[in-house]
Structure formats: structure tokens, C-alpha cells
Amino acid sequence: MSGVAAGSLSDGTREFLLCLADDEHLMGQRHTEWIGVAPFLEEDLALASIGQDELGHAAMLYELLSGPGRDIDDIALGRSAGEYRSCWLVEQKCPDWSDALVRHWMYDTAESLRWQMFEKSSIDELRGIAARALGEESFHVMHAEAMVAALSLSSDAHSRLAHSIAELLSLGVAMFEAPAGELDAIDDGVVSTSMVTLLPEWQQRVDARFGEQDWAAVDTVHQNGRTTRSDSFAPMYDVMREVLLIDPEAKW
Amino acid sequence: MRSWDSVEAFETFLDGGGIVEVDDRMPDVFRDAVFAFIEMHANSELMGGLTERDWIPRSPGVKNKMAILAKTQDEVGHAHLLYMVAADLGIKTRTEMMEDLFAGKSKFHNVFHYQAVTWADQVAIAYLVDSAALMSQQAVFKNCSYGPYKRMLKRIIAEEGFHMRFGEERLLKIAEGTEIQRDMFQGALDRWWLPALQLFGPDTRDGDVLLRWHIKSERNEVLRDRWVQKYVPLLTSYGFVIPDDHLRHDEATGRWEIGEIDWAPLKAALANAGPDSARRIGNASKNWHDTAWVRAALDEAAA
């Protein structure tokens, strides 16, 4: 099936697409926090560039959901916390560089799989967005992979990364939890398969890079189909809306 | 590699429009002066990026966030390029320059010793500070006698032009906006007018070697006045009030005359004792320290 107009999205599909948009938005937001404070200047610039890409993907998805000529910030920043559909991994602050790098590796490895689900989407615009995102995500994965590979040669860095993996693994798995609206999105031909079907491939890549994990022992994170927010969300949400709330009438 | 028998012969070369390259045997006094100038420029780009990064997460809207991120990325990118140009002069490595900066041992421009306290400050920085910096950089680029710096300035100036445009567009929205927005910008103008004015520095002293050696092409007071003549009418036409009780328009000459400038804040900032210097340098130093393990691990991997 192809050629479905973006304006005729079902409610379930809209909710499902919000997952991708919110993930990209919040991941981009978190990456921007490293500009000027990363370990060295080239890394400042790399993470800023990756953050820029993720925000761009979010903007394209919000535009698709908003419709032509509408202000995307109504969706991007105008919803209540409970209406967001982000996974908890992207909500985390990760102020430690090791955590930030492992999160970056986990997220972009998942993205490189997830965007492939839209290559035959019934929505023309979504196929275009996916093609662009996949091209960019391949650079993100290369960046994360090269950095992890180099750092893994140092015993100190290796143990820091292992600690970060242990801390973040359950949140990584939770990226693949079936989000609200997923069944509708599959029925509508918007996405080819359920997100959870991508999990084994992602787990294999984690094992190959960081060593075999005890997947059975990984805690379950209760995101409730991404309808609830982690404790890290509220402070970020307040910061993102701080200026907008000063004057709801203002155009900036 | 070229060399000169004396400083006088070198100055004759410069006066004739000569461009010095990194592998030339330039006099040490010239090398030192050019290095100090570029190091301060690089430090300022980095610290400027840090000033602006405070407001990236708070940007009103996704598109503003992408724009201010790109702008900050440019500033850090300029620091990256300038540190390379400075390091090539063989006086300090990039790491030494950054560690001196974070230890409070070197200088950066006065404007980055202040905190941006509202989104309007971010706009004021782009509108006032970036325009002042651009005017100064254009004057350096015009006749710059050090080739690597001149070539780098060409790129930097092109990007700074976009930053100024960012400031102009955002200011226009505020000027045409609500009372709250206009009040917010007036507050920012009250905070940033004097620092931006002081970015040009005090009047150039006679015998300034940067002028004599064609690093700078114009005197500080000439550039400062040119900026005043351009920005006072623009800001007042939007209905904002310049925070200078002695500002007056000379009807006979058609020029704006500003009040006497108190240079004490500039001196304090350049001694790393400005209003926000300690926090800025302290945070940057802590970040550098906290991520030292990454640099050490990569050095170990490369060894």
C-alpha cells in the first residue's frame, strides 16, 4: 500500500508516530547539553551536529503530524507531560560522559534498525523522512562505535563503559516496548512490524560490542506503552517550556 | 621560508602589503603579538559558546533551538580553527591554551564575563555583541598581515554574518511583539549595551604594534563610533531606550554623541574578575577535569 495522505492518519498511528518524534526531540535536546563541555572540541562539534540531526528528524515528524502551515511547537512543546510518548532512555540526563556515550550508542543503534521499518510505509512523507534519517543515523552509529571502540582499549574507560551498560541496559530494552497505537500503525501500513521484533538484532549488537549480557536478568521498565514519564522528564520539560510560558501570546 | 635582517626590514615588508606565513622566520615580537591576539580570539569564541549554551535547552521552540544550536556550534567551531592557527605559531599547544584558559591564566573578551539571564539576553548578544565582533573582525581581515589568520577570518566573518542576521530577525519579532517581550529586551539592552560598547576596547594608544604591524587596520575608537552611529538609530527606531543618560543627537553634524565610558568594568573583566567570571571559568574547569579520563584513555589507545 502506498500514497496514504498524511492528513488522514488514524488516532493510533498519530500516537505511534509521536513516539519517534518525541524520542528524536528529547535525544536531540540531551545531545545539545554537551556542546562546549564534551571531553574535547571535536566531540563538542560532533555531538552538536548529531543533536542537530535528531532535532531535524523530530521537526519533520512534528510537521507531518501538525499539517501544513501549522506551528509545530503546539505539538512539540504544547502537550502535557502525560501526552508525551518518549522512551525513558532519552529522558535521562546522563551527566556522566560514559553514560552519555553508551546512551548515544544504544539509541543510534536502535534508530538504525527502527527507521528501516518505514522504508515501505503507506505514507509517502514518512518514507522520505526515513530515507534521510537512515543516511544520517549511519554516521551517528559510526561516531558512537568509533568512540566506544577506542575507549575500550583502556582498562579504566572499559570499566566505566561496562558500568554504564549495566546502568542503562534495562532502559535500552524498554526502547522496543510496544507503544500505544502500534497495532493501528501496523494495520494502516504505516510501519511494517512491531518494534519488539527489532530487539533480538539490537541485543546481538550490544553483545558483540560490549560482551554477552545476561538478558534474562535485565529489569523490566514500566513505561506502560510509553504513556508514563520517568522522574528525569519533569525538569527537562520545565526547561524546554520556560520561555514559552512567560508569555503565551508571544512569537519568538 | 623567508627571513628579514631586522625588525625595520620586516616592518618595511609589512608596510608594502606583505603577508607573513607560518613558516617564515618572523621576528619573535611579531610572533608573540600575533599569537596573543589569536589566542584571545580563540578563547573568546569558546567562552562565547559557553555563554550561549546555557540557553539552548530553554530556546522557545524547536526551530529556535536548532538555530541557536547551529550558532553555538559555529562559535565552538571557530575556537577549534583558531586554536589550530595559534598552535601552529609554536608557542603553546591547544591543550596548553585551553588549560591556561580554564585555570584563569589567560584572557577572553569582556562580554563573555557576563551571564545571559533571559532569552532576550541571547538575542541582545546576537544583535549587539555579534555585530560589534563582526565589525572588529572585518577591520582585522581587511589588511591582516598574518596569512593563516586572515584566511581563517574570511570563513569566520561569513558565519558571523548569519549570527547577526539571527539577532536581527529575533529582535524584529520582539520589537513587534508583546509588552512583556519588549520589556524583556529593554532589560537585556540595559545589561548588554555597555559591555558591547566596551568590546571595541579603550581608545587605541599611539604606537600600538597591532596597528603598526597591520594586524588591526583601524583604531578602536573609530570602530566603536561607527557601531554607535549604526545601532543607536536602529534601536531607538524600535522604541528601545539606550542606557546612556548623556547620549545626544548633534543636529549640526547629524551624529550621535555618547556619554563618557566607565572603563572599570572592562578592566575587571580582562583581569578575570567580571560579574560572572568565576562561575564561567569554574564550570569550564570542572567540565575539563571531569572528562579528563576520556582524553587519557584516547591517548593510551593511540600510544
Query: Which set of grid coordinates corresponds to residue B290?
Result: 571531569
Q: Do A45 and B64 touch (CB under 8 A)?
A: no
Asked whether residue A135 is assigned to any structural domain, the reply reads yes
Q: Tell me the percentage of chain B whose pLDDT exceeds 90.
A: 98
Q: What angle do CA B120, B121, B125 make, to 5 degrees?
A: 120
Is the distance from CB of B284 to CB of B102 less than 8 angstroms? yes
- Contacts with B, A 52-71, CB within 8 Å: 52, 55-56, 58-59, 62
The helix (H) or strand (E) run that includes residue B250 is strand B248-250
Q: Residue A4: is its pLDDT beyond 80?
A: no
Provide, as residue numbers in chain A, all residues whose Cβ is less than 8 Å from the Cβ of B289.
Answer: none
| Separation CA B286–CA B279 (nearest Å) | 10
Average of per-residue pLDDT across A162-179 = 97
Orientation angle between helical segments B147-175 and B130-143, nearest 10 degrees = 150
Give the model confidence (pLDDT) of A126-137 as tens digits: 999 999 999 999
- Contacts with A, B 21-60, CB within 8 Å: 46, 49-50, 53, 56-60
Average of per-residue pLDDT across A227-244 = 97
Give the model confidence (pLDDT) of B171-216 as tens digits: 999 999 999 999 999 999 999 999 999 999 999 999 999 999 999 9
Q: How far apart are the first and last CA of chain B?
A: 33
Provide, as residue numbers in chain B, all residues whose Cβ is less than 8 Å from the Cβ of A42.
Answer: 80
The helix/strand count (H/E) of chain A reads as 10, 0
Q: Residue A5: is its pLDDT beyond 70?
A: no
Q: What are the residues facing B3 on neighbouring strands?
A: B25
Query: Which set of grid coordinates corresponds to residue A156?
Result: 579504566
Q: Do A252 and B119 touch (CB under 8 A)?
A: yes
A72 touches B: beta carbon within 8 Å? yes
Q: What angle do CA B158, B159, B160 make, to 5 degrees?
A: 95
Is the distance from CB of B220 to CB of B200 less than 8 angstroms? yes
**What φ, ψ does residue B113 adopt, rounded to 5°?**
-100, 10
B279 touches A: beta carbon within 8 Å? no
Q: Quick one: closest CA in A to B173, which residue?
A: A252
- Is the interface score ipTM higher than 0.85? yes
Q: Quick one: closest CA in A to B99, which residue?
A: A40
Count other C-beta atoms under 10 Å from residue B55's C-beta. Answer: 23
Alpha-carbon gap: B39 to the closest alpha carbon of chain A (Å): 15
pLDDT tier for residue A7 given thresholds of 50, 70 and 90: low
Average of per-residue pLDDT across A151-179 = 97
Count how many residues are written for chain A. Answer: 252
Asked whether residue A173 is assigned to any structural domain, the reply reads yes
Q: Residue B128: is its pLDDT beyond 50?
A: yes
Average pLDDT, chain A: 95
Q: Quick one: closest CA in B to A52, which residue?
A: B66
Asked whether residue A149 is assigned to any structural domain, the reply reads yes
Task: Give all domains of chain B, ordered by start, each with its CATH number.
Answer: 7-302 (1.20.1260.10)
Residue type, B235: L
Asked whether residue A239 is assigned to any structural domain, the reply reads no
Query: Which set of grid coordinates corresponds to residue A109?
Result: 543503534
Asked whether residue A244 is assigned to any structural domain, the reply reads no
Provide, as residue numbers in chain A, all residues whose Cβ is less than 8 Å from the Cβ of B159.
Answer: none
Q: Residue B41: is its pLDDT beyond 60?
A: yes
- Contacts with A, B 66-85, CB within 8 Å: 66, 69-70, 72-73, 76-77, 79-80, 83
Contacts of B241 (CB under 8 A, 6+ apart): B186, B189
Asked whether residue A217 is assigned to any structural domain, the reply reads yes
What is the count of residue pairs from A and B with beta carbons less than 8 Å apart?
145
pLDDT tier for residue B301 given thresholds of 50, 70 and 90: confident
Orientation angle between helical segments A97-114 and A155-174, nearest 10 degrees = 50
Average of per-residue pLDDT across B62-89 = 97
| Separation CA B293–CA A34 (nearest Å) | 16
Per-residue confidence (pLDDT) for residue B303, from 0 to 100: 84
Asked whether residue A242 is assigned to any structural domain, the reply reads no
**Of the partner residues B46, B66, B294, the one whose CB lies closest to the CB of residue A39:** B294
For residue A62, the enclosing domain spans 9-232
**What φ, ψ does residue A117 adopt, rounded to 5°?**
-65, -10
pLDDT tier for residue B1 given thresholds of 50, 70 and 90: confident
Select from A234, A27, A44, A108 the least CA-distant residue to B65.
Answer: A27
| Separation CA B269–CA A222 (nearest Å) | 51
Q: Tell me the percentage of chain B whose pLDDT exceeds 70.
A: 100
Is the distance from CB of B205 to CB of B213 less than 8 angstroms? no
**Of the partner residues A37, A44, A153, the one whose CB lies closest to the CB of residue B301:** A153
Count other C-beta atoms under 10 Å from residue B85's C-beta. Answer: 23
**Of the partner residues B53, B178, B296, the one whose CB lies closest to the CB of residue A249:** B178
Count other C-beta atoms under 10 Å from residue A16's C-beta. Answer: 26
Average of per-residue pLDDT across B50-59 = 92
Per-residue confidence (pLDDT) for residue A1, from 0 to 100: 40
**What φ, ψ does residue A63 adopt, rounded to 5°?**
-65, -40
**Of the partner residues A35, A62, A246, the one whose CB lies closest to the CB of residue B73:** A35
Asked whether residue A112 is assigned to any structural domain, the reply reads yes
Contacts of A14 (CB under 8 A, 6+ apart): A65, A181
The domain that contains A45 carries what CATH number?
1.20.1260.10
Give the model confidence (pLDDT) of B234-260 as tens digits: 999 999 999 999 999 999 999 999 999
| Separation CA B222–CA B202 (nearest Å) | 11
- Among A22, A23, A37, A236, most B C-beta atoms within 10 A, so best to mutate, is A37
Cα distances (Å, whole numbers) of residue B74 to A27, A143, B131, B163, B260: 21, 20, 15, 9, 35
Per-residue confidence (pLDDT) for residue A2, from 0 to 100: 44
Per-residue confidence (pLDDT) for residue A3, from 0 to 100: 52
Select from B150, B243, B284 the least CA-distant residue to A41.
Answer: B284
- Contacts with A, B 153-192, CB within 8 Å: 170, 173-174, 177-178, 180-181, 184
Domain count of the fold of chain A: 1
Q: Quick one: closest CA in A to B45, which residue?
A: A36
| Separation CA A188–CA A122 (nearest Å) | 7
Tell me the DSSP string of B173-225.
HHHTS-HHHHHHHHHHHHHHHHHHHHTT-SPPPTT-HHHHTTS--S-HHHHHH
Q: Which residue has the cell 591556561?
A: B100
Average of per-residue pLDDT across A214-237 = 96
Provide, as residue numbers in chain B, all residues whose Cβ is less than 8 Å from the Cβ of A35.
Answer: 49, 53, 56, 69, 72-73, 76
**Of the partner residues B284, B290, B297, the one whose CB lies closest to the CB of residue A151:** B297
Q: What are the residues facing B144 on neighbouring strands?
A: none
DSSP 8-state symbol, B255:
E
Give the burial class of B8: count Cβ atoms within 10 A of its Cβ; 0-12 exposed, 13-18 middle, 19 or more buried. exposed
Count how many residues are written for chain B. Answer: 303
